[in-house]
Structure 1
Amino acid sequence: MRIGRSEADPADGTLIGQSNVAAELAELAQRNGWTASPAFHTGDRVWSHGEVHDLAARTTSALIDLGVRPGDRVMVAHGDGIAWVAAFLGAARLGATVVPVNPELTAADHAFMAEDCQASLVVAEDRTADRFDGVPCLTGDRLLGLAAGAAPGPVARVTGATALYAQYTSGTTGAPKAALHRHADLALYHRAAGQGVVGIRHDDVTLSVSKLFFAYGLGNALVFPLFSGSSAVLLGDRPGPAQIEEAVGRHGVTVLYAVPSAYANVAAECDGASFASVRLAVSAGEALNETLAARARDLLAAPVLDQLGSTEAGHAFCSNTFDSDEPGTIGRPLAGYELQIRDDDGGPVADGEGELWVRGGSVMAGYLNRPEQTARTLVDGWLRTGDRAERLPGGAYVHRGRRDDLEMVGGITMSPVEVERVLAEHPAVAEVVVAVVADERGASKLRAFVVPAVPDPDPARVEEELIALARRRLAPFKVPRSVELCRALPRTHTGKLRRFAVRNGNW
């Protein structure tokens, strides 16, 4: 296992990342006088750093009373809010492993993950709490109620190498797998991206459109505020442009994180004057084209920094920064990470395009219970990202798409194969491929390209029926937004589907 270096707290030089990170963060807030400073804004409530860490300590006791022990796994299938934060930090103090998952997944997806990670407890929302048969489950509100009446719990003695959380990511078959990260990793995210990219400050107010359940949002809205004494706005639902605009104006947001699709919609529907407080914005999760980036910069009157990260690396490892922004690129390697371009055989490429490999302290320990997939992805301390990239002569990198068949939808990695299997069941479908394409605003949307099985089908009816089928069977983010009929799909001379051509529409 490759363990990252510890991080020195800039305020007093104390090492962070050597033991229980939840306890270290509580001590950091106390030492630096942040206990009365805002940490999280949830609706009309402002939670101070001191209140958050006190709640986490009490949540530890509640979890112990519920039977959770060090090394157990606590699955959190809940929207962003103080219950999510309390569950994460409370379990971390206890020495349990947190398994954050998308609360909008289907019941089948949730059941698979709960069984796969062998969850000892699930924290869910009211509407989904009855779907976890055989696993103890309670709502976030119930957990907070138990914590309110509990005494502060003990801090488990762990090292920086101890498992802290396991975050699910998709595979080429569509079967999710969980990347294991350690207590030490959070400090590395903060050093590389919190400090290195945005220069996060004590008076910053963050809004991450991307949610806490996946890597980008976890760093943006939990790690960086707790390590810097700043605050974050937590919105329970996935916000649309109007909600983003309202939250920015209401809370005076200074640092905005989103995916390109969100920036496209904000640029199309919002008034730039509402974003006057924003000093910096960051984009990740999908490719950010230069036209959209320029529109977003004009609206926000602030830099929009493109970056690349992954669930396996924990957060960003290559990014533009406030001090060095090169539009059209994903910037340069961040502090603590090395990048290489390699060919299909894994050999280094001096010039040109190839697969991007990364090495750094926060690279996952491995996939939970997936030794073969771990061995294919982690090679001699290097992570195969599955991204194709090109290193420019000046040292910046350009992202050239995915090596595998995964797509990025709203910043979430998903396999189109799962969607295609569902749509292929429809009698009007002979062949189908699903890909992310840009709409008229430049926002990335999932589209199904269908070769019809019947002559002269009604395109509107086929689209309506296929989207309805997908909605019944799949999580919301996996449902195509549109359907396009075509005579044939692009294939090689051997019959292999050319997904790259589908994405670019050049066939």
Structure 2
Amino acid sequence: MSWRKNFLKSLEGEGGFVEDGQQWPFRRVLESAQEFAESLGTRGVDAGDTVGVRLESPIANVIALVGNYLRGCVHVPINTRYTQREVDHIVEEAELKCIVGDEFTLFSDSPASPYRGDDEDIAIILFTSGTTGRPKAVELSYRAVLSNIDALTKLWRWTPADTLVLSLPLFHVHGLGIGVHGTILRGCWAQLRGAFEAEDVVSAFEGENGRAGSIFMGVPTMYSRLITHLESKPEACKALSRGRLFTSGSAPLSTSDFDAFRRLTGHTILERYGMSETMLTLSNLYEDRRRGMVGQPVGDTEIRVVDELGQDISDGIGELWVRGSSLMSGYRGRPEETKASFENGWFKTGDMVEILDGFVSIVGRRSTDIIKSGGFKIGAREIEEVIREHEWIADVAVFGASDTDLGERVVAALVLSGEHGHLESEVLKSGLDTWCREHLTGYKIPRDLLVVDALPRNPMGKVQKPRLKEIYESTRT
């Protein structure tokens, strides 16, 4: 049986979703999805057409996904917060046939994707995070999506007895990929919580409609806010301690938050790594969750860590290259960029990692997190970890800025903690300089500081360092 048919067959079994106290068993989801698919047909939307989905309700997004799969249409999730300019970009890049939202919008001149009725057909188009440029449309086949999520959820030991607390958006590989597809493949239940609130997550683990949460997947920002909530309300720790599995991804989790969550709940967060182009590439093992690591390859994924000449590194820092069935089919309408992103079948992620004894940790994006200063290559994350431990600092992002002497200078963008928000610049500079010199080699110490009210982030919590660099450069002119 094909991956797509097996996925749809799973909806005839047990399991389901809960939204706003209302239960949606799989069979009810399937019935609603069949109506969705039929409505597409009556509006001239056929197999291979790309369908943009811009719906607020999480369960409506689930129904639309299944309906698109039934119809053979390509599912294109759209963030409901996007401006019209951002939506227009998606319409153009994904060559949308229609948008299903508050209103139905049909685009008559959009070409369909090739449709053969097999697992190599395009199932989903996701968009890159746009940290280094305008988001690109990533085409993912049924085989890529479903084989990868099947392997990952088996690695994490999901069972029909589990209830996932899903507070992630459903327009990204994290929430849509693992959350929705994983729930259906494993025959479990998911509480669709909508926008994340720490107190709401705690209440989900205390039980709702007889279904207390057992699994939570979050991004580092969510864990930071959960920790703040737990420290202010220690009684909430007991509810989360009853859970079975907590995972983190989409951005590196700070070691301080990793330790704090374990201290408060008794749970060791399982970190993993993935991206739109590769799905879920790396994960710590269920029984071996290493602090600061994102683990080993998932399923049939193969990895290489290479130097600037493309030579393999067995231990040390290099760029991560990936090969396997979970890779994208390509960037839609961008054959040259697709070709340039591969080297002899290996996808070049652009992420710098460190590999040690077969386990991988993330150093950062080659383009934004590796700073070349005075002949040294400096990883931003190491500096961020040190600065984040200072009592004056609520949040930090480190980046490189142009320097006529060094090539790039190290700059730290800082969000100051409430009681230290009005420190004089010289006091701040002197205090952090002293702190950094106690923990870092001299060439890694930031030469400039940029104080901001908040770090600019994309919808998945990744810091937009190009935007910070723009802000910093504007202060120098």
TM category (shorter chain) comes to 0.7 to 0.9
Alignment equivalent of 1:403, drawn from 366, 376, 381: 366
Instruction: Give, in angstroms, the shift of residue 332 of structure 1.
Output: 1.4
1:81-117 deviation digits (Å, cap 9, x = unpaired): 1110111111111111111122212221011111221
Other-structure match for 1:453 = none
- Output the CA distance in 1 between the equivalents of 2:388 and 2:205: 26
CA shift for structure 1 position 438 = 5.1
Establish whether residue 385 from structure 1 lines up as the match of residue 349 from structure 2: yes
- CA distance, structure 1, for counterparts of residue 468 and residue 121 of structure 2: 48
1:78-477 equivalence runs, <5 A = 78-79=55-56, 81-124=58-101, 126=102, 135=107, 158-171=117-130, 173-196=132-155, 198-237=156-195, 239-251=196-208, 252-270=212-230, 271-314=236-279, 316-393=280-357, 395-405=358-368
Report the Cα distance in structure 1 between the residues aligned to 2:157 and 2:138, rounded to whole angstroms: 27
State which drifts further: 345-354 or 280-289.
345-354
Would the aligned equivalents of 1:212 and 1:218 in 2 still touch at CA under 8 Å?
yes
Partner of 1:492: none
Displacement, 1:45?
A: 0.7
Q: Is the 8 A contact 1:76 1:100 kept in 2?
A: yes
Corresponding residue to 1:54 among 31, 35, 38: 31
Q: Per the alignment, do residues 241 and 475 of structure 1 end up closer, same or farther by CA in structure 2, a change over 3 Å counting?
A: closer
The question of whether the paired residues in 1 share the 8 Å contact of 2:122 and 2:142 is answered with yes
Quick one: distance in 1 between partners of 2:353 and 2:318?
A: 6
> Are the equivalent residues in 1 in contact too, given 2:219–2:461 (CA < 8 A)?
no
Instruction: Confirm or deny: 8 A CA contact 1:80 1:234 kept in the other structure.
Output: no
Deviates more, 1:90-99 or 1:341-350: 341-350
SS at match of 1:225: helix
Alignment of 1:3-22 (within 5 A): 15-17=1-3, 21=4
Q: How far has the Cα of 1:340 moved from its partner?
A: 0.6
Distance in 2, matches of 1:247 and 1:488, equals: 41
2:67 matches 1:72: no
2:7 corresponds to: 25
Between 1:164-173 and 1:45-54, the stretch displaced more is: 164-173
Instruction: Provide the rounded CA distance (Å) in 2 between the counterparts of 1:209 and 1:107.
Output: 25
- Aligned residue type for 2:285: T
Shift of 1:25: 2.4
- Residues 356, 389 of structure 1: 8 Å contact kept: yes
Change (3 A) 1:488 1:236: closer
Q: How does 1:26-41 map to 2 (within 5 A)?
A: 26-30=8-12, 33-34=13-14, 37=15, 39-41=16-18
1:445–1:254 distance in 2 versus 1, CA, 3 Å: farther
**Residues in 2 aligned to 1:484 and 1:361: alpha-carbon distance in whole angstroms:** 36
Query: Which whole-Å CA distance do the structure 2 matches of 1:121 and 1:203 have between them?
Result: 38
Distance 1:439 1:96, change over 3 A: farther
**Letter in structure 2 aligned against 1:230:** C
CA apart distance, 1:349: 2.2
* Cα offsets for 1:282-304 (capped at 9, x unmatched): 01111112221111123332231
Measured in 2, the distance between the counterparts of 1:467 and 1:328 equals 27
| Aligned twin of 2:404 | none
Mapped partners of 1:439, 1:282: distance in 2 = 23
Structure-2 change in CA distance of 1:402 and 1:224 (3 Å): same
**Partners of 1:325 and 1:84 in 2: CA distance:** 32
Higher relative contact order (CA 8 A, sep 6+): 1
SS in 1 for 2:138: strand
Distance of aligned partners of 1:192 and 1:283 in 2 relative to their CA distance in 1, 3 Å threshold: same
Is the Cα–Cα contact under 8 Å of residues 258 and 282 in structure 1 kept in the other structure? yes
Question: Shift of the alpha carbon at 1:367?
Answer: 0.5
- TM-score (norm: length of structure 2): 0.74
Partner of 1:303, secondary structure, is coil
- Aligned residues of 2:148 and 2:298 also touching (Cα < 8 A): no
| SS of residue paired to 2:222 | helix
CA distance in 2, matches of 1:246, 1:445: 30
Q: Give the C-alpha shift of residue 191 in structure 1.
A: 3.0
Q: TM-score, normalised by structure 1?
A: 0.70
- Whole-angstrom CA distance in 2 between matches of 1:186 and 1:476: 19
Between the two proteins, what is the percent identity of the paired residues? 25
Please say if 1:45 is aligned against 2:48: no
Sort the Cα spacing of 1:63 and 1:240 in 2 relative to 1 into closer, same or farther, 3 A. Answer: same
Q: Comparing 439-448 with 83-92, which one deviates more in the overlay?
A: 439-448
SS at match of 2:165: strand
Deviation for aligned residue 1:80 = 5.0
1:26 partner amino acid: L
Residues 1:372 and 1:172: Cα distance change in structure 2 (over 3 Å): farther
Q: Is contact 1:105-1:476 (8 Å) kept?
A: no
Shift in Å, 1:476: 11
Q: Which moved more, 1:226-235 or 1:289-298?
A: 289-298
CA deviation map 1:365-384 (0-9, x unaligned): 11111112111212222111
Q: Deviation at 1:227?
A: 0.5
Shift of 1:44: 1.4
For 1:367-419, what per-residue CA distance to the aligned partner results, in whole angstroms no more than 9, with x for missing partners?
111112111212222111111111113x1112111112389xxxxxxxxxxxx
Post-superposition CA distance 1:302-346 (Å, at most 9, x none): 2310111111112x2111121222222111122211111011232
Residue 236 of structure 1 aligns to a residue in which SS? coil
Which digits, 9 at most, give the CA deviation of each residue in 1:188-218, with x for residues without a partner? 223331111x110101001233222111112
